Amino acid sequence: MQSKSEREKLGREKLQRIIDTCTSVQERSLDPFLIDINENIGTIKELFPEWNIPEDLCLDAETIHSLASVIKLQSEWVKHRSTTLYTDPFLLEEKLTRLPKEDITRAFIQSWRPAVELEQISLHSLEEATRYWDSLIPLDERWKEIPPEQVGAGLATREELVQQRILRDKAFSEELESFWDELKSTVTEKGKDGKIHYWDFVGAETYEQTVDRAFMTSFLITYGYATLEIHPLEEETFIKPYEKPIVKTGKAQLVSIPIAITTDDWTKWKKGELE
């Protein structure tokens, strides 16, 4: 007496064999009637009560799908045989190899109705072609080799590097400190309870400036110059500056809070629609 797991294993192997046979019929264009559909469906029906887990049910469904594809091939085979174009392929092949090419050609000519085509140049196309020729730039000019631009090597000044944003004007720490001072004064002027709405501080005239301010704000928070106060139910975020920077490393696990600064949000803030 086989155990349940042995029966299941055998059942899976049977279904896989059915799938493999159906696949080889489809791929190698074998006779679809080689597969006994009734017998295979009987097998699937018999095995179906054994299946409990989703993988086995999927295998069962895949087997039925393979059999359905074979039934479709059988139907196409019957349709083809019943059309007037059907002829025994072996008989035709044997005829083709036996008949001399003259006889084959004679038979072909009797069933061939070649298409009638006309190729002719007209005055109109000549006129268009002449106009095109007149407007066409000579090859020497079209295919001119452009010599590489010679650029003189020189020295860049510090101002030029700052202008191209390769160098910062001030040291980053100085910039961060002055940004922190700006946060504290803004909270004093426009804030409430020692904090200010995130977008009210970060928002600027242009989107690029807003992103820059958000970038600097993230460092203020990371380095302990300020903190975030988030009210998830009201979907509000506030920034609260500290009087003195607090060193957070080693005290507790730091958490990352991603805040998206999209152009849509910035536009809404500009219009006063962002709460």
Partner 1 sequence: MLFYKRHAKPGVKGWELRKTLGSDYPKVLKILDDYLKALDLQVKTVFEEGKEVEKPSLEQLDRARFLITLRGDLTPKEAKMVGWRIDDLAGLAITIAYIISKKGQSPRKDVEELLREKLPGWKVGINIDRYVRYGYLAQDESGQLYLDWRTRAEVDQKALIDLLLRTEASPASA
> Residues interacting with partner 1, by CB under 8 A?
80, 84-85, 87, 89, 91-93, 95-119
User: Nearer to partner 1 by C-beta: 123 or 260?
Assistant: 123
Smallest Cα–Cα separation from 202: which of 243, 247, 221? 221
Q: Would residue 23 be called left, alpha or beta, if left means φ above 0 and alpha means ψ between -120 and 50 degrees? A: alpha
Provide, rounded to whole angstroms, the least separation between the CB of residue 219 and partner 1: 55
Nearest-approach distance from CB 129 to partner 1, in angstroms:
16
- Pick from 206, 204, 201: which is nearest to 183 by CA? 201
Shortest spacing between CB 45 and partner 1, in angstroms: 32
Closest to partner 1 by CB, 52 vs 105, is 105
Element (H or E) spanning 227, and its range? strand 226-231
CB of 249 to partner 1, least distance (A): 59
Q: How far is the CB of 254 from partner 1 (least distance, A)?
A: 55
User: CB-wise, 107 or 156, nearer to partner 1?
Assistant: 107
C-beta closer to partner 1: residue 121 or 139:
121
CB-nearer residue toward partner 1: 1 or 115: 115
Q: What is the 3-class SS of 74-93, one letter each residue? A: HHHHHHHHHCCCCCCHHHHH
Q: At what angle do helices 172-190 and 207-222 cross, to 10 degrees?
A: 100
Instruction: Give the whole-angstrom CA distance, residue 198 versus residue 239.
Output: 6
